[in-house]
Amino acid sequence: MKTAIVHDLVTTIGGADNTLQSIYTVYPSPVYTLVAHKNAVKKSFFKHAEIITSFIQKMPWGVKKYRAYLPLYPIAIEQFDLRAFDVILSSSFIVAKGLISNTEQLHICYMHNPIRPAWELYHQFLSHSNNGRGIKGFFTRMVFHYLRLWDVTTANRVDHFIANSKFTARRIKKIYGRESVVIYPPVDVAAFPLQEQKDDYYITASRLVYHKRIDVIVKAFQNLPDKKLYVIGDGPELKALQSGASKNVFFMGYQPQNQLVKYLQRAKAFIFAANEDFGIAPIEAMACGTPVLAYKKGGSAETVAPLQTGMFFARQTADDVQLCINAFEAGYHLFDAKKISAYAQRFSKQRFETEYQAHVQQLADDHFKTGPFCTGTA
């Protein structure tokens, strides 16, 4: 059987790309993607992989300004000629699931989330930085309306969905009317070793964009002058966050992984205020034995065990974050770094690859009814 992998973008090596890496490990195949950042690929796991890009790659500033070509994503993903393959494994967080296949082919989609700006984050996106005003706002609404129609229509191009969390599975059911199997994504927990000794500071790490809600975490520490917060990451919200921060908040910028690990290992707790489909960073913190204080929605509600590996706050507000920190301080003695780290191992890469391969194998056997499903492209 010949396999192909379709993934939206290979521009940075982040959470979705870690999943792509594990899929490629199990089924080494050509990777089709809208845009690939060649320098990032050369330094990554995919340096020897066969990567086929769309016409957007050759558009003016197509690699650096790929987000500007969002209206062309549906057309671009449909141009890949995948007729030579028996099984197509898509990894979708924008449009990858909308590839065109034929009746004989088996298309299995690992869904990270439906197009977030067009669905879950639509009104939040429009209200942020005047995105919804004037001609720009009108054009934005038209594009997202078109994307929603296309997104729902192309859901029937997928034979089987795999969701990265129960939260995403509910969204797949609501938006597409389709059932899915949940297989949590891989986390390289081995790269985040346990450290039992902790220092007296809190930490959050994320790309600094509006929907990560780093702002409510930073604001909470205005009323906690005796507590320290380290913010790791860079992004368009950095200046705004710095302007509203108190002196006990320290912006560390982008940190290489070895430094990120050290900060996570020594932190008293990791704070996570985003409503994510899964959330890799809290798992990495827990692997270090660091408790997590998280917003009780999205994937975090599934991955953080209350009063075992962390605590929750109910709303994305500074007051709720502050209350959670105070409650955590009062019950800090209840948390055991060894038990927290052991809990995080259930999200390992090895676990994902075993579960994913077994599920794909079963689906392929049922579809083709020809016995064992062979990996590779030859």
* Cα 300 to Cα 303: distance, rounded to the nearest angstrom: 5
Give me the CATH code for the 3-186+348-368 domain, please.
3.40.50
DSSP H or E stretch at residue 42? helix 38-42
8 A C-beta contact, residue 286 and residue 268: no
Angle between helix 280-287 and helix 337-344 axes, rounded to 10 deg: 130
233-242's contacts with Cβ under 8 Å and 24+ in sequence apart are: 233/205, 233/206, 233/207, 233/208, 234/207, 234/208, 235/206, 235/207, 235/208, 235/209, 236/208, 236/209, 237/208, 237/209, 237/210, 238/208, 240/215, 241/208, 241/214, 241/215
**Residue-wise pLDDT tens digits, 54-96:** 999 999 999 999 999 999 999 999 999 999 999 999 999 999 9
**Burial of 119 from C-beta contacts in 10 A (0-12 / 13-18 / 19+):** middle
pLDDT band at 375 (very low <50, low <70, confident <90, very high): low
- The answer on pLDDT for 1 being more than 60 is yes
Residues 59, 146 contacting (CB under 8 angstroms) = no
Residue pair 8/114 in contact by the 8 Å Cβ criterion: no
Amino acid identity, position 197:
Q
Per-residue pLDDT, 378: 42
Closest to 235 in 3D by CA, of 206, 275, 272, 260: 206
Tell me what the mean pLDDT of segment 249-275 comes to.
96
Query: Quick one: pLDDT at residue 140?
Result: 87
**Between the ranges 3-17, 107-121, 272-286, where is the mean pLDDT highest?**
272-286
Instruction: Return the percentage of the chain with pLDDT > 90, whole number.
Output: 83
Q: Where in the chain is the domain with CATH 3.40.50.2000?
A: 189-346
Evaluate whether 119 touches 175 at the Cβ level (below 8 Å): yes
Q: Torsion over CA of 234, 239, 241 and 245, rounded to 10 degrees? A: 120
Class of domain 189-346: alpha beta
Beta bridge partners of 292: 270, 310
In whole angstroms, what is the distance from residue 15 CA to residue 242 CA? 26
pLDDT value for 258 = 94
Phi/psi at 103 (5° precision): -65, -35
pLDDT at 370 over 80: no
What are the pLDDT digits (tens) for 89-107? 999 999 999 999 999 999 9
Q: What is the tens place of the pLDDT at every residue in 269-300?
A: 999 999 999 999 999 999 999 999 999 999 99
- Our CA angle for 299, 304, 307, nearest 5°, is 150
Q: For the chain, what is the radius of gyration of the CA atoms?
A: 21
- In the predicted model, what is the mean pLDDT of residues 217-232? 97
Categorize the per-residue pLDDT at 43 as very low, low, confident or very high, splitting at 50, 70 and 90.
Answer: confident
Closest CA to 192 of 267, 265, 254: 265
Instruction: Give the C-alpha separation, 15 to 8, whole Å.
Output: 13
Measured over all CA atoms, what is the biggest interatomic distance in the chain, rounded to whole angstroms? Answer: 66
Percent of the chain with pLDDT over 70: 96
Q: How many CB atoms lie within 10 A of CB 21?
A: 18
pLDDT in tens, 122-149: 787 787 767 777 888 888 899 999 999 9
pLDDT in the model for residue 128? 73
- β-bridge partners, 93: none
Among residues 358, 286, 316, 284, the alpha carbon closest in space to that of 15 is found at 284
Q: How far apart are CA 31 and CA 52, in angstroms?
A: 6
